[in-house]
Amino acid sequence: MILRTKRMTVALQSESADCGLSCMAMLASHYDVSIDLGELRDQFGSARGVTAATLMDIASAYGFVPHLLQCELGQLLQLKSPCILHWDMRHFVVLERLSPTRAWIIDPAVGRRRISIEELDQMFTGAVLTIKPGLPPPKSHKRSHASLRDVIGPTSGIRASLAKVLVLAAMLECVALGSPLLMQTVIDDVITLGDSDLLMVVGIGLLIATLFQCLLVAGRGWALSFAGASFRLQWSSAVLFRILTLPYAYFQRRSASDVVSRLESVKAIQSTLTHSFVEVLLDGTFGSIALVILGLYSLKLAFCTVACLVAVVLVRSTALHLKRERNEEAIHHDIRQQAYALEAVQAIQTVKANHAVSKVHGRWLSHATSHTEADFRISLLESNTQALVRLILGLEQCAVIYLGARMVLDGHATAGTLVGYMMLKEQFLAKASALTAKVMEFRLLRTHVDRLHDISRETIASPTREAALCIDAPTCTDGVLSFQDVWFRYSDGDPWILRGVSFSVRYGESVAIVGASGGGKSTLIKIAAGLLQPTQGRIHVGVDTEKVASVLQDDHLFAGTVAENISLFAETPDVQRLQSCAVASQIGDEILHFPMGFNTMVGEFGSSLSGGQKQRILLARALYRQAELLLLDEATSHLDAANERGVIQELSAMPITRVFVAHRAETIRSAQRILRLEGGQVATGETASILANQTFGVSST
């Protein structure tokens, strides 16, 4: 029987192809070897996932001895835990524990699960990977944590704002500490002695203290709200700018909702820091002062109160690990739920055309149910923890009342002293409990900080294409664009897409790239546009980055007007240039017939336009930049023959260098030279006249 020696740390996958890498990181952590998932992804990751053989290579690289086994379900009982199971023919999970009727697995996509033996039998494919430490024992690889400042940058005004909040809050705490002393005075002096004049003085003092306390609460609330809003704006702006400057490949590996969710992590960190940081300082300081005063009241009673606090800290610490793990699962499920809902709405045409509303809703409901269950587990843990804390506080209350009443009856204390102690004790326990909770909250921020670390560890895309792509500019071939022995693949585990591609494009030349689908044509255009970096080789672009424009297959229009989309939201667009670019793109007359002309709203992603209209507006956007190098990837695939001929004629008349991917014969015939890609290599160069008698992945209109 597989026995669990200790509870494993869950490592959820952040990318769809990370399941195997996450499982390996979890297995390593079982042997106290810490491996950064991002490090694994950089060295061994693949856009299409990893195989069992790759996982064995990873284990060996980190000092483990791997064993890949093929076994039946009954044989799993004899294996040493934990181990990696191949799951549902497309996934990897960690088997943490197994009994004759149930199995405990960690699915890197959803977290820890308990399943029946029947479900295990249904999903388990028979492949098992186990590892054990080798000789010498494997060592942990330290994770390079970036500080929050590295991600968000400097924040203006943070020290001054926090200082104001701290002063106001400190004054409020001083007023609160004086309340027990006033109450003790009322009971021991006013009521006992019957001093009405003193009662008037104390009453006026209480009234003034109450009013002053209200003003301080309002002032502190205003200062916290202002600081929180200001910092959230600055930090969110810095993080979003950082995200937008990341390489294009980063976004290819993640869903849009997963990337944008980093901003929610900023919000969580900001809220904790601006509110909890001040409270921690004050609760720690004034809690210590209150404890000293409690000791002056009575050491016996103070001992009971401190013992209660120790018990509360132990309970909250025990619950912290579980809450952190469940918090990570809840965030992960929330991202998946939002991503699928967004995907369903964006693909509503496909959903309705295929009558798939029920299926799509069912899949979303599955993700939503997992998120709800994760939230429920967190709420249940918090409720149980809170109930246990209340029990401890209640027992302490009973003990203090009993012992304090005994002291009053024995003449060792007055009734006012007991009441004063009870009031001050409540303040102390409230501050100490809040301090404990806030410290735990700070530790839970590691989940959000790690999500920001994911973007901080990525290399920012170079702002200058030539500096990034051309290693030795003087040796590059002259021309607008040249590739020199360029190789490309997405990761070390992926096949080569481009293999030693070399060519040069002269100024003013028109070059068509043809070949079968999947041959690397779009990848070549993206490398030329600076979206992807070559794995090997050199690229030279002979014009300024601002003079390179492109229209790619998956380009988008933004929610805004036609004019804003063509000018890409320029503050003062050139109206004459807008019109001329629209005419050259064969969309000018149609725009004039739009309800508001160039001020017509196009909807999100151009939802109010046809496919051909979108492409022509995208082309107008590229021409508006007055580019010297134009890169086109199937930029006229949605146009009818007449509009396509018009676009070709307009572009041919312009003094602009064009490199374009096309499958239509008429479009290709407009080129002065043809590059044919076969198996990621340039097979031959042909003239457009020869193409008329040849076919290689070309269709006619």
Residue located via tokens 């994770």:
143
Q: Which has the higher per-residue pLDDT, 264 or 159?
A: 264
Question: Mean pLDDT throughout 230-240?
Answer: 76
Catalogue all structural domains in the chain, each as residue range(s) with its CATH number. 18-133 (3.90.70.10), 148-297 (1.20.1560.10), 479-693 (3.40.50.300)
pLDDT in the model for residue 701 = 42
Phi, psi of 120, deg, nearest 5? -60, -45
Q: What is the mean pLDDT of the chain?
A: 78
pLDDT in the model for residue 365 = 86
pLDDT in the model for residue 700 = 44
212-226, 404-418, 454-468, 595-609: least confident range: 454-468
92-96, 335-339, 407-411: least confident range: 335-339
Query: What would the two tokens of residue 652 be?
Result: 């041919």
pLDDT in the model for residue 619 = 93
- For residue 11, which of 19, 24, 22, 1 has the smallest C-alpha distance? 22
Transcribe 163-231 into DSSP letters: HHHHHHHHHHHHHHHHHHHHHHHIIIIIIHHT-HHHHHHHHHHHHHHHHHHHHHHHHHHHHHHHHHHHH
Q: Which has the higher per-residue pLDDT, 392 or 326?
A: 392
Residue located via tokens 């849009």:
256
pLDDT in the model for residue 428 = 79
With beta carbons less than 8 A apart as the criterion, state whether 499 and 487 touch: yes
Could you report the per-residue pLDDT of 237-246, keeping only the tens digit for each?
777 888 888 8
Question: Mean pLDDT throughout 366-383?
Answer: 83
Give the separation between CA 40 and CA 58, rounded to whole angstroms: 8
pLDDT in the model for residue 630 = 92
pLDDT in the model for residue 348 = 79
pLDDT of 570 higher than 90: no
Q: Which has the higher per-residue pLDDT, 444 or 504?
A: 504
Q: Name the band, by pLDDT with cuts 50, 70 and 90, for residue 169.
A: low
How long is the chain?
701
With beta carbons less than 8 A apart as the criterion, state whether 303 and 294 touch: no
Query: What would the two tokens of residue 698 be?
Result: 């070309």
Query: What would the two tokens of residue 89 be?
Result: 């023919």
Question: Mean pLDDT throughout 486-511?
Answer: 87
pLDDT of 436 higher than 60: yes
With beta carbons less than 8 A apart as the criterion, state whether 231 and 154 touch: no
Beta bridge partners of 510: 658
Could you report the per-residue pLDDT of 390-411, keeping only the tens digit for each?
898 888 888 888 888 888 888 8
Query: What would the two tokens of residue 449 be?
Result: 């900080």
* Positions marked catalytic: 19
Angle between helices 446-456 and 196-244 (to 10 degrees): 30
Task: Count how many Cα atoms sit within 13 Å of the Cα of residue 165 in the half-sphere of its side chain.
Answer: 24
With beta carbons less than 8 A apart as the criterion, state whether 215 and 250 touch: no
Question: Mean pLDDT throughout 262-284?
Answer: 70
Report the 10 Å Cβ neighbour count for 527.
Answer: 23
Query: What would the two tokens of residue 573 be?
Result: 């667009």
Q: Look at strands 657-661 and 510-515 and give their pairing.
A: parallel
Query: What would the two tokens of residue 503 be?
Result: 């060519």
Measured over the CA atoms of residue 489, residue 15, residue 557 and residue 346, the dihedral's sign is: positive
Q: Name the band, by pLDDT with cuts 50, 70 and 90, for residue 184.
A: low
With beta carbons less than 8 A apart as the criterion, state whether 37 and 14 touch: yes
Q: Name the band, by pLDDT with cuts 50, 70 and 90, for residue 1.
A: very low
Q: Which has the higher per-residue pLDDT, 77 or 673?
A: 673
pLDDT in the model for residue 324 = 73
Query: What would the two tokens of residue 254 be?
Result: 């993640």
Q: Which has the higher per-residue pLDDT, 224 or 407?
A: 407
78-92, 173-187, 228-242: least confident range: 173-187
Could you report the per-residue pLDDT of 298-322, keeping only the tens digit for each?
888 888 888 888 888 888 888 877 7
Measured over the CA atoms of residue 77, residue 81, residue 82 and residue 83, the dihedral's sign is: negative
Give the separation between CA 93 and CA 109, rounded to whole angstroms: 9
For the chain, percent of residues with pLDDT exceeding 70? 76
Residue located via tokens 């492409």:
615
pLDDT of 692 higher than 60: no
